[in-house]
Amino acid sequence: MWADLDPVGRASSGGYRRFAWTAEDHTLREWFAGECAARGLDLVEDRMGNQWAWWGDPDTDGPGVVVGSHLDSVPDGGAYDGPLGVVSGLATVDALRATGFRPSTPIAVVNFGDEEGARFGVACAGSRVITGAMTAERALGLTDVDGVSMAEALRAAGRAPDTIGRDDETLRRIGQFVELHVEQGRALADLDPATSAVAVGTDIWPHGRWRIDLPGTANHAGTTALADRQDAMLSAAEVVLAARSAAAEHGCVATTGKIAVEPGGVNAIPSHVRLWLDARGADQNAVKATVSAVEAAARRFGGTLTEESWTETTRFDDTLSGRLRGILGEHTPMLGTGAGHDAGVLATAGVSTSMLFVRNPTGVSHSPEEFAERDDCLRGVEALTKVVRELAS
Ligand SMILES: [Zn+2]
């Protein structure tokens, strides 16, 4: 399976460009459908085109146990983020069948569409639409860099945009969802190598985005004495450094990855700088304390900080996570994550959800350098197989 996927959407960087509702996406969806057909699984698409492959009938014998992840990627993304969960799901079905296992509840492997939001800017669009976290109207109106709306993209892919929307029938079929995913940090690599190939996910960190506006006065870069300047960029520099030290102090992460400068001339003193802060951390209060410190720094320079989004901790189902650890053994690490997933969207919608993370030796993700050892991937399949065998018995 890994060899089949290897060339699809591969860019010259060595990374992948697999964006929603493109030719590459179509190839991946067809590949998934083929793998499911070869296994005699029943493939159904929900109202957003997410693909669900059932072993057993969820409508008569459900709800069932669902595994899987996504096949799309960020620009120049790695091979593992998403596909590892889908391939491991299919390999789990094979492993269970090889031992003659007969599930007493149905089992499904899901391929969520448009998880990364690389084309239309909203992550987890597939799960957001079916849970109602994003309305059909908003989804269809999103546009890509070429100005193509999601409605147009769906139509071009041969689909009917007016049928998308919340899908309670699909949600009712899910008893539990366990998403296996490559770890996107180095927490497992830093633990005892003997016991840390696979972890159980506990939660998605609280995270948010804030806009910071800093004022200055435009003036000539050559004739204005240093003492006479009100330079918004100097304030911005101070605020960026304040974010870094506040994050370090409170044990969070903070990033200022986007900035806009006015008037934007090489020879003009900046009259206004706008920058955006992304802050996350395991502890909600620590993140808020970090943001407060950044706001205080902005105020010192006459600036303001405005919240653009804030998502509190998304806890997976503690009972399910505890059960997973019971199945895999008490040595299994429990891990929160700073990255978003479809599992988080389903958990917020009230679905019993947990995750398994496979060790990433460098922690690098969303990059061609993303990697997981073959042995660790196989241990991930083993863990997922144990879990599904138990949950579907
Ligand atoms: Zn992912």
Distance 24 CA to ligand 1 centre (A): 17
Residue 200 has pLDDT above 90, yes or no: yes
Measured distance CA(87)–CA(55) in Å, rounded:
16
Q: What is the pLDDT of residues 118-159, one digit of tens each?
A: 999 889 999 999 999 999 999 999 999 999 999 999 999 999
Mean pLDDT of 221-248: 98
Q: Are 142 and 152 in contact (CB under 8 A)?
A: no
pTM, rounded to two decimals: 0.89
Q: Which of 321, 70, 304, 59 is nearest to 178 (CA)?
A: 321
Q: What is the mean pLDDT of residues 94-116?
A: 97
**Who contacts 98 (Cβ-Cβ below 8 Å, separation ≥6)?**
none
Tokens 């399976």 sit on residue: 1
Confidence band for 316, pLDDT divided at 50, 70 and 90: very high
User: Average per-residue pLDDT in the chain?
Assistant: 97
Distance 117 CA to ligand 1 centre (A): 11
Residues contacting 13, CB < 8 A, separation 6+: 76, 368
**Ligand 1 centroid – CA 19 distance (Å):** 13
Q: Please give the single-letter amino acid code of residue 237.
A: A
Q: For residue 283, report the distance from its CA to the centre of ligand 1, in Å.
A: 22
Is residue 6 a contact partner of residue 15, using CB atoms and an 8 Å limit? no
Instruction: Write phi, then psi, for 389 (nearest 5 degrees).
Output: -55, -45
Distance 124 CA to ligand 1 centre (A): 9
Q: Please, which pLDDT band fits residue 273 given cuts at 50, 70 and 90?
A: very high
* Contact of 340 with 70, CB cutoff 8 Å: no
Query: Prior bond to 263 cis, omega within 30?
Result: yes
> What values do phi and psi take at 59, rounded to 5?
-80, -30
Phi and psi dihedrals of 249, rounded to 5?
-65, -40
In the predicted structure, residue 308 carries a pLDDT above the cut 90: no
Q: Please give the distance, rounded to the nearest whole angstrom, from the Cα atom of residue 14 to the centre of ligand 1.
A: 18
Neighbours of 353 (CB within 10 A): 27
Backbone angles phi, psi at 214, to 5 degrees: -125, 125
